[in-house]
Structures are given as structure tokens and as C-alpha cells.
Structure 1
Amino acid sequence: MNPRVQAALARIRQDVQGMHAYAIQDARGLIKLDAMENPYGLPPALQQELGRRLGAVALNRYPGPRIEELKAALARFVGLPDGAALMLGNGSDELISLLAMACDVPGAAILAPVPGFVMYEMSARLQGLRFVGVPLSPDFALDELALLAALRRERPAITYLAYPNNPTANLWDEGAVRRVIETAASFGGLVVIDEAYQPFASRTWLDVWRAEPEAHGHVLIMRTLSKFGLAGVRLGYLIGAQPLMHELDKVRPPYNVSSLNAEAALFALEHADEYARQATAIRAERARLLQALAAIPGVQPFPSEANMILVRVPDATKAFAGLRARGVLVKNVSTMHPLLAGCLRLTVGTPAENDALLAALPCSL
């Protein structure tokens, strides 16, 4: 190795050098069912109109008033609770990192059920915080006794509850979530309800917040437009009590959302009915897939409230390779956590993509 490179590497934290970067699979030439993306594009007429709008954006200027217009549009879209404010992020990934940065005080920890979204742990470690993972039950429910005990013992600055969870795709028991929220309140901890997959879920925690605002002063709700249908736009948003959001906004980089991203998001919200139609189609395909997967010998699909389905197969590595050889890319999550042994995560695609998956899977087991 070049000695100058070697000397420079010594300046990079050893724990960072020991970590693995977030892996993105090469999907070229494959049916892409690995990343929980909305498989539908815009109709041609809307594509042309969006292109015209983006072409008129003043790229020579920093993002300006359109950012505030986007925040106002999102507030109307979600029905922002009284006394709440909204903060934008470059995807929810940035918001997760900013939360870790804002809560980085000596001895602080971040807690989440596992298996869960890997960025909760990664952001904690990159910020030098402790991460506490509390295993789910074998059927992927919250282990409430273990979770509440960990909360009282660790007193984390942030507790993440993905609702629905990734990669298990299920919603948690409402009573258990309420008790987590109450326990965190006893020591002043934040609770972040991550609703990345809300367009496909049967309920949202935001409804509970609106009904019980006094119980949610320490609760943040995080969403993204990625699953809505704008994964390439990279836009997430965080909802919380105005005093909390005022402080959290101080760690947000200036101009963290580009003018192009903001314009694309505004356009999408103006055509929310089209994305709602797509979400309805995805939910219908999810139901069809669940039924068809359950009929394949050796395949165990788990209930889903997201645009993905977790399945257990006899040999996940073999099935993953077999699907890939047949042109279908899914996510092998079998080594992410012991509870996921033998599991693949399948994104719900278009009817044609799902048909291809169903044809290839039995031959890949």
C-alpha cells in the first residue's frame, strides 16, 4: 500500500474501519424486488409535466421559499397535529443521523427492537453512541417484558419503533407501543415512530397522537416519500412538538433538501391521488402474493402491512441464488439476525413482476 495512504488511514477511526458500508445490490438486467420501492412510474402526461416543472427550477440559486411551501404542503397532507412542527431531511436516513447527533451526550444510548432497520444501529455507532438491540419474539412481535426492562435499565435517549417494521413487515400491538411510550416518558427519552411504509399499512400512529396529544410530547413520527413513490428524490420528514423540533432543526445542515427534490415532492403531493391509486394496487398485489406464496410447499410467508413480504424457505442462500439466476433479485436477510434464519424479503412489484417471482421461486428452492 502507498505509505501516504496508509498514514492517512490512521486518521480514520478504527471502529469505522471495522464497519461494513451499507450494501446496495447490482440490479442491472434483473427484476428488482429487493429494496421496497414503489414499482410504478408516473403516466406519460404527468412525466412530461414534471419535466417541465423541473426544467424551470433556478438551479443557479440555493433552495429558497419552495422549501417552506413543501413543508406547508406536507403539513396539510398529513394533517399536522396542533402544536406540532415538521422538519425535512435528505431521506429519513439523514433524519436518523441528525437525531443521533442531537442526542449525543455522555453515556447516551439508542434502543430499538431487532431485527429492524439497520440505520438505527449504524447511526448510533457512527456518532459514538451505544446501541441496544432488544430481540423480537419468535413470531416477530415486540417482546414487551424484555423491551420495557431494557428501557428502564438503559434509559435510552432515543427509542425507535418502526411501524410497520423492516424487514418483518408487521405492525406492533397498540397496547405495547403505548406502554413503551409511557415508560420512555418516565425518564425523558424520545420515542421515534418510523412510518416509512405508512402508505401500505392499515393504521398510523398519528391518529393516536391526535386523539391523545398530551401523551405524545416526547414522541416523534418519521416518514419518507421513498415508499410513497419517490425513492429517487430522497425526501424524509419528521413530526414533533414545536419546542423539540426547534432544537432538532439546529443540527440540520443548511440547504439539505435540493430545489429539484423539493419541486418533485411538491408535484407528487399535487398528484397524491395517482400515488394513492398505486398504493391500492400494491396492497391488492400483496394480498395475492401472500395467498400464492402460502400455497408453495416449503415457503412460509409472514403477515405484512408494508410493500414487502418476509418468507422463510428451507435454504435462503440457495433460493436467493436460484431466483437471481432466473432474473429476479430479492433480499437475503437470513444472516441479519438469528430470528431471520432461512428468510428472504420480497418487495411487492407489479402484477407481471410478481408473476415472474411466483414462477421462479418453486424452481429455486
Structure 2
Amino acid sequence: MNAPDLSRSRPPVFSRIRSDVQGMHAYAVQDSTGMVKLDAMENPYRLSPELQAELGRRLGAVAVNRYPGARIEDLKRALAHYIDLPEGQALMLGNGSDELISLVAMACDLPGASILAPAPGFVMYAMSAQLQGLAFHSVDLTPDFQLDEAAMLAAIREHKPAITYLAYPNNPTGTLWDDAAMKNIIAAAGAQGGLVVIDEAYQPFAAQTWLDRMRAEPGQHGHVLLMRTLSKFGLAGVRLGYMVGPAALLTEFDKVRPPYNVSVLNAECALFALEHAEVFAAQAREIKAQRAMLVDALRALSFTVWDSEANMILVRVPTLAGGADATQVAARVFAGLKARKILVKNVSAMHPLLAGCLRLTVGTPQENAQMLAALRESL
């Protein structure tokens, strides 16, 4: 039987929606009901009852009948102090870093413009390009998930991208790139008039930040924006991202930002978290300690494990007897974990370099112990 032609049964209004949009898939979120949720790189720790009560009082006093106003500026000043904003730099807020990625693409949407990023990487770089009608060019990482510097430089020469993304650390690999390669790529992109966006979503768990380079070498970073989110800090439900860059450059991007894009409740939550930054710093230290434990335990189970500077670990499943390829084995292990109420991310089909790979979020000690036990049973 032939498949039905759905286009004929759709109302005419669908013809007003871009065909490429109709052919896209929405960003998928796995159902985590009843599961140990280790698929989305969230901080697993909740606020203490005392801090929950204090935050509740703060939020209850917010004037939700008014549009966001001066409190947003309070938050920008608090973030500037928290990160020790370099002189001459400004700060812009977004509804998560996803919105900032979209706004950067929107502002750079000139005829023939393109976006360049290493692959595998964060899916929103390519999606933002498609939604804005920009060309997207990816450059494969090396087999050990490092930047292919020569290939990146060649792609910059060929495509002259308006935007080059460098995630630091990278998702899903957890990698911090080589400093020399980063500097050369940043310089090459700038030499042909392009913008570089360094995405530090996982900075709370990394050994270093590129912001230190921007502070020490402002002359080499006049075309560089640095993006972060409070999601991994511990506020994934709050949706608050921020972008740092030369003040004159950020002024242009701020023109495409929707008015009141950050709610007063989000801003108050973020201010509250920054006032208790030591609590979240202690959580990050515990997550990093658990990460080190997991790396050792996973290697003992014969997984291939890449060193991570994020709150996730990329692993490749061990080769098993029976002739199944790595992607099939990863699917079986993923299904085995899910049957045991452990939810991780199967990234095996996302890119050829990820064949046989799963991405595991670092959880609490109890959650990590449950995941390791489920992995042993699934193998």
C-alpha cells in the first residue's frame, strides 16, 4: 500500500510555512518520568529546605504585575562582578544561551553568510543557521575528539564564515581544545572579518576559561564573544544565559534582542543564586570528584572513556561478541539502562565519530552508583 500524501490533506495555511521548517524535527526531550535522569547535563543537586524557603519569600515579593526593569540591570552588574568582567567588555542577557545563539545568527544574516563549527558539537549551532537561512559548514574533529586545526583553517579560508563557534568544553565530548589551535583559529577568523563565539556552557566544571585570555590579550579578541549559561551552574529550570564581548560589538547584537526577554522571576532566581555562589561552587566540586570516580569505574568496565572537563562523560561501549556493530551495541546498552530506570543519552547516531558512544551526565553519588550497577547488568 502506498503511503498517504499528507500534503493533500493539510489545510492551505500550511503552504505559508517554510517547507524546510516543515521538514525539520523539533528539539527532542526524552521522557524522564520515574527515571534517574542522567541525560541532559543538569546539576543533580536541589537547594536545601532553608534556601528553598528563602527563595520562595524573595519570589513572592517580586512585582510580577510590572515588566522587568531595574532588577535586570542589577543582575547584569552582579554577573559582571561574579566573572570579573574585563575592562571595555559588556554583558548581554538571554533566555538561556539558546536564545543568544539565535540572536547572533539573526544579526549576522547577510546574503551569502555562513556559520562554521567543529563536529560533533552542539546541535543548536546548525539549527540556528537553518532557521535564519544561513549556510552551515562543519569540520570533523580528529578521532580523539580534538580540533583538526588544519581543516578548520582551510574551512575558514574557503567559506569565510560570519560566525565560527568553539565550544569550550565541547558537547558531547567534554573536551577543552588545545590553546595554540584555539588562538590560531580565532586569529584566522578575525583576519577575514568573521566573528568567533566561544561557548562556555560547562565552565563551572572546567579547569580553565577563555575569559582569562580575553582579559590578558584584548587586542586579539576584538571580534570574540564569550557565551555562558546558568543552566549548568545549577539553574537549568530558570533559563538564563549571558554573553560577554566588546561593548561596541554587543551594542549591535542587543538591537535584535526582544524587549523583556528575561523575566523578573528568572532574574530574581539568578540574583539569589549569585548571592549563594559558594553553595553552587561546592556542588561543582562534588560533581568533579564524582566525575573522576566515574571515569575510573567506567574504564574498569572496559568502556573507552574520554577525559572530560564538563559534567558529562562520553564513553564508547566495549566490543561484544556476536557480530553486532558498535551502534547496535550502544542501542542495546542504552535500552538496558532504560529498562533499569536509568536515562542517559545515546549519541551513537549523531555523527560517524560517535559510533557506539553514550553520553552520561554526572549525578549524585547514589545516582552514579545506580548507573554503574545498571551498566554492569546491561553488559
The answer for the alignment partner of 1:326 in structure 2 is 340
Give the Cα separation in 1 of the matches to 2:269 and 2:126.
30
Give the deviation of 1:58 after TM superposition: 0.7
The yes-or-no answer on 1:348 pairing with 2:365 is no
Structure 1 runs (4+) greater than 3 angstroms displaced: 1-5
The yes-or-no answer on 1:225 pairing with 2:230 is yes
| Corresponding letter in the other structure for 1:205 | W
| Corresponding letter in the other structure for 1:201 | A
The answer for the alignment partner of 2:96 in structure 1 is 91
Give the Cα separation in 2 of the matches to 1:93 and 1:198.
16
Alpha-carbon displacement from aligned partner over 1:87-111 (angstroms, at most 9, x marks no partner): 0000000000000000000000000
Taking every aligned residue pair, what percent have the same amino acid on both sides?
69
Give the deviation of 1:3 after TM superposition: 7.3
Give the Cα separation in 2 of the matches to 1:136 and 1:363.
32
The yes-or-no answer on 1:300 pairing with 2:307 is no
Alpha-carbon displacement from aligned partner over 1:160-200 (angstroms, at most 9, x marks no partner): 00000000001000000000111011111000000000000
Give the Cα separation in 2 of the matches to 1:323 and 1:24.
17
Give the deviation of 1:300 after TM superposition: 1.1
The answer for the alignment partner of 1:146 in structure 2 is 151
The answer for the alignment partner of 1:357 in structure 2 is 371
Give the deviation of 1:6 after TM superposition: 2.6
Secondary structure of the equivalent of 1:176? helix
Could you tell me which runs of 5 or more consecutive residues in structure 2 were left unpaired when the two chains were aligned: 1-5, 320-328
Give the Cα separation in 2 of the matches to 1:244 and 1:253.
17
1:136 to 141, 156, 164: 141
- TM-score, L = length of structure 1: 0.98
Structure 1 segment 168-179 matched on structure 2, within 5 A? 168-179=173-184
The yes-or-no answer on 1:45 pairing with 2:50 is yes
The answer for the alignment partner of 1:116 in structure 2 is 121
The answer for the alignment partner of 1:196 in structure 2 is 201
Structure 1 segment 261-276 matched on structure 2, within 5 A? 261-276=266-281
The answer for the alignment partner of 1:14 in structure 2 is 19
Give the Cα separation in 1 of the matches to 2:178 and 2:121.
16
The answer for the alignment partner of 1:255 in structure 2 is 260
Secondary structure of the equivalent of 1:252? coil
Alpha-carbon displacement from aligned partner over 1:250-302 (angstroms, at most 9, x marks no partner): 000000000000000000000000000000000000000000000003x1111
| Corresponding letter in the other structure for 2:357 | C
Give the deviation of 1:328 after TM superposition: 0.2
Instruction: Give the aligned CA root-mean-square deviation in angstroms.
Output: 1.0
Over 3 Å counting, the alpha-carbon distance change for 1:356 and 1:10 in structure 2 is same
